[in-house]
Amino acid sequence: MATNKKAAKKTPAAAQSKAKGKSKAKSTFAGPVDLGPDHWVWGEGDEIGAGNLMTPDSILAALEQVKKGEIIDLSHDVAMGNPSIPPIQLPYVMTLSSTSANSERMIRNGFGAENGIGFYLERIEMTTHVSTHIDALGHATIHAELYGGIPAPVGADDFGLCHAGIEKAPPFIARGVIIDVAGYKKSKFLKPGYAITPADLEGALKRQKVSIEKGSIVIIHTGWGHKFWSYPVTYAHGYPGIGLDASKWLAAHEVVAVGADNMALEVFPCEDPKVIFPVHQHLITRQGIYIIENVKTDEIVERKLWQSTIVILPTKFRGATGSPVRIIALL
């Protein structure tokens, strides 16, 4: 699978960092909040982080869980009107660049075609963080350092990431665990600004009689997506999510990725108004754990299907900080 060996070929970013005498085993950042220790354990130049936990054996074990051949789609449509946060995250826009009529005329006049062939084609403008999507490990920084301690001027340029872009992310096939925190709290949806704690995660798992194994993909159900996805302004501006302590608890379980049915996985407004999106910093930059946002959890939670095999295939946009994804749960 996508396991990085310590002797693997170093990336240009890693090589440049080493040449400057900045090859790092540990981050030097100390700030107003404890983001936890780094977990850069897969060798210098690693760009797939917790993706290394997926091995041929773990993939086979995950696929052996599939008994029915049933698929549950955990993805929303990518569509105009999807929640966004301008100007940081611009809205998705799609227009037709070619229609049946104008292309038929062009093909007829340009090639002499007499069979009336025409095509519809579109032009899309978007951020890769639209609808259901996964974040690249180069997405978040801590004081201008990317995952692996790569300095920002080395790890990115005006045309995208040079280190840990989404094209480096592996295909994901892993045991999936759904944690219904809303159900555990006896609510259809958690309130905006509610920070999910380790106790909430433990309580929900105990209620569901499931556990998290090393290398799992964990999806958290807050109920926020089911309630407010169709109301994009409400959905995107204040929502429940995991707090920093919960992210540390999940990282300690050595998960590959964590997702939720909300805009950014973590709670917003953040627990400390002076510490913005620390869960992204902890999971992505410190731990190399992937974040999945805007997961569609309605059906799988309604049916109480807490365990499945989850498949995620990011599109390989070279240098991009994320990718819209089709996430499926195999039963």
- Domain parsing of the chain, residue ranges: 12-83+128-330, 93-125
Q: Which residue has the higher pLDDT, 43 or 50?
A: 50
Which pLDDT belongs to residue 7?
36
Residue in the block written with tokens 């130049």: 45
Question: Does the pLDDT of residue 247 top 70, yes or no?
Answer: yes
Question: Does the pLDDT of residue 2 top 70, yes or no?
Answer: no
Which pLDDT belongs to residue 221?
98
DSSP secondary structure letter of residue 230: T
Which pLDDT belongs to residue 31?
59
Q: Say how far apart CA 306 and CA 4 lie, in whole Å.
A: 30
Which pLDDT belongs to residue 35?
87
Q: How many CB atoms lie within 10 A of CB 294?
A: 29
DSSP secondary structure letter of residue 20: T
Which pLDDT belongs to residue 6?
38
Say what the pTM is.
0.90
CATH classification code of 12-83+128-330: 3.50.30.50
Indicate the angle between helix axes 244-252 and 198-208, nearest 10 degrees.
50
Question: Does the pLDDT of residue 325 top 90, yes or no?
Answer: yes
Q: What angle do CA 174, 178, 179 make, to 5 degrees?
A: 135
Which pLDDT belongs to residue 13?
38
Question: Does the pLDDT of residue 163 top 80, yes or no?
Answer: yes
Question: Does the pLDDT of residue 4 top 70, yes or no?
Answer: no
Q: Percent of the chain at pLDDT above 70? A: 90
Residue in the block written with tokens 């301008």: 86
Question: Does the pLDDT of residue 207 top 90, yes or no?
Answer: yes
Which pLDDT belongs to residue 192?
97
Q: How confident is the model at residue 124 (pLDDT cuts 50, 70, 90)?
A: very high
Q: Percent of the chain at pLDDT above 90? A: 85
